[in-house]
Amino acid sequence: MTKTWFITGATGGLATPMIEQLLQRGDRVAATIRKPGALDHWKQQYGDQLWIAHMDLTQPEQVKDVVERAFAEMGTIDVVVNNAAYGLYGAVEEAADEQIEHLFQTNVLGSLRVARAALPFLRQQGGGQIVQISSMAGHYSTPGMGLYCASKWAIEAAIEALALEVAPFNIRTMMVEPGGIRTNFITSNAVFGERTELYRDLEAGQFVSLMKGELPGFDNDTFNRMVVGDPQKMAQTIIQQVDEDQMPLRLPLGSDAYDYIRKALTDRLEALEVQKELAFSTNADDVIRQM
């Protein structure tokens, strides 16, 4: 049975291989883009099977209008995929306020705007699916990636609650948590804070140098071969999971995602256990224990 998909950020990340595979199997796709003409080659090949609209996630009214037009013109949308996002790298102190605000406007508020705009239509049609492309970075944070990680932590918290809230309406939700992917995410979509000498030789600065390809012996080809994630395999897996009757709430993709997420959760749990006695010691003396 064919499906109709609404996918943001259609020219980057996992969206490109997903759309290609979906069109090839006969599904319909409503794709949003930032650059006019970016999907013309597919439009010529697939015609009405592909619906295209320009959308800027930082513009609330535009997001609402595009989502409404997509449902109106496509009739039914079975799956809403929030893919659009980008990375902001550098020490937290090095980023400008405007950079931080735009990051959260896109990665967090933009995804929420799309989901919130789609929910009334999904309820009206009796259900649907929401797929949020997140990251393994939604579970940990590291020097040089703090702000990007923060955006992923934030969207995961909101979507986890949303998933529980909309489940009674037959709307299923899944967060995809890929590790490194062999796409243009870093080389084309990365934004960097203003580098300072304070952090240049520290872990945050070294991370930025790696991302920019400035470390000796690390050209783009070498860096790409260090990335484990195959975008075609990941796209295929996401589609397969959506086709299943029960999607998982979280879907880690890539061996690095599994390893990093497992370590982050294990480390946090171990640190929590050390604090158990101290945490309990701050209870009120007359607290009523919940059964």
Looking up residue 252, the CATH number of its domain turns out to be: 3.40.50.720
**CA neighbor of 133 nearest in space, from 229, 38, 259, 210:** 229
pLDDT at 224: 65
| 199 lies in some domain | no
pLDDT digits (tens, 9 = 90+) for 147-190: 999 999 999 999 999 999 999 999 999 999 999 888 764 555 78
| 196 lies in some domain | no
pLDDT digits (tens, 9 = 90+) for 187-242: 557 899 999 999 999 999 999 998 887 877 666 666 666 778 899 999 999 999 99
With tokens 């896109």, the residue in question is: 106
In order, the DSSP letters of 147-213 are HHHHHHHHHHHHHHHHHHHHGGGTEEEEEEEE--BSSSHHHHH-EE----HHHHTSHHHHHHHHHTT
Residue-averaged pLDDT of the chain: 93
**Tally of domains in the chain:** 1
List residues bridging with 95 in a β-sheet: none
- Asked if residues 50 and 29 have their Cβ atoms less than 8 Å apart, the reply is yes
**CA neighbor of 108 nearest in space, from 166, 157, 164:** 157
Write out the residue range of the structural domain in which residue 109 sits.
4-86+95-189+229-276
pLDDT at 212: 85
Q: Which residue has the higher pLDDT, 223 or 4?
A: 4
Query: What is the band of 281 on the pLDDT scale with cuts at 50, 70, 90?
Result: very high
pLDDT at 20: 97
pLDDT at 184: 62
Query: Are β-strands 171-178 and 250-253 bridged in parallel, bridged antiparallel, or unpaired?
Result: parallel
pLDDT at 190: 87
Radius of gyration over alpha carbons of the chain, in Å?
Answer: 21
Q: What is the mean pLDDT of residues 122-147?
A: 97
pLDDT at 12: 83
| 55 lies in some domain | yes
| 32 lies in some domain | yes
| 121 lies in some domain | yes
Q: Which residue has the higher pLDDT, 253 or 11?
A: 253
| 207 lies in some domain | no
pLDDT at 221: 65
**Residue 171 CA, distance from chain mean position:** 19
Q: What is the mean pLDDT of residues 9-23?
A: 94
| 54 lies in some domain | yes
Active-site residue set: 134, 148, 152
pLDDT at 216: 73
| 202 lies in some domain | no
Q: Which two tokens stand for residue 96?
A: 């400008």
The pTM assigned to this predicted structure is: 0.93
